[in-house]
Amino acid sequence: MAEPQEDFWLFGYGEDHRGTPEAPGRVATLIDRAHWETLTDHHDAPAEKVWGAAYHIPASHAARVRDYLDIREINGYSIQYTPFHPAGGDRAQPIRCLVYIGLPSNPQFLGPQDPQALAEHIVGSRGPSGENKEYLYQLEEALVGLSAESGDEHITDLARRCREVEAREGVEARGQGAREVVGHPLHKVGSTEEQEEVEK
């Protein structure tokens, strides 16, 4: 299919750098359905449609945006065009959108992962654009906000697991903080005088 010569629409489903080379963050990536069917997975088959947002790129910015996207996405992604159907919109016809589809040859593509291990990794990853968990929480919120049908079971489950990891780690951190104030393992205080000494 020929590329648009003037303005174009770009399908966005969330991508950002939320990690470091040592602890890379995890982001959502669209992959071809045929490739998805070759993978083992921990959740049900995906719906026949993907929810996201379409961004109109005016002709005055089209070349610059395409150049930027090609540099950012071209390694490990294929450029495709797909019909986009606005939810509850007035448009009778779908919009033709450019979309980047992840390729299995992309070295950053990991395939299926254990959801709990993935949640632990996400909570511990952060990078120049912020914390990986915030990317996930914002993605979940955005998907839920698009339509009554747009929530994603896998994203919601992953966000729940991350919040549980955060809550657990928060309790552990508070416990460690209490021990650090004392300077040694907690012990029973036998008198007011001893308690005052320990609290100094």
Catalytic hit among 73, 120, 131, 134: 73
194 is catalytic: no
Question: CA torsion sign, 133 to 57 to 61 to 1?
Answer: positive
Spatial separation of the C-alpha atoms in residues 65 and 97, rounded to whole Å: 14
Active-site amino acid positions: 73
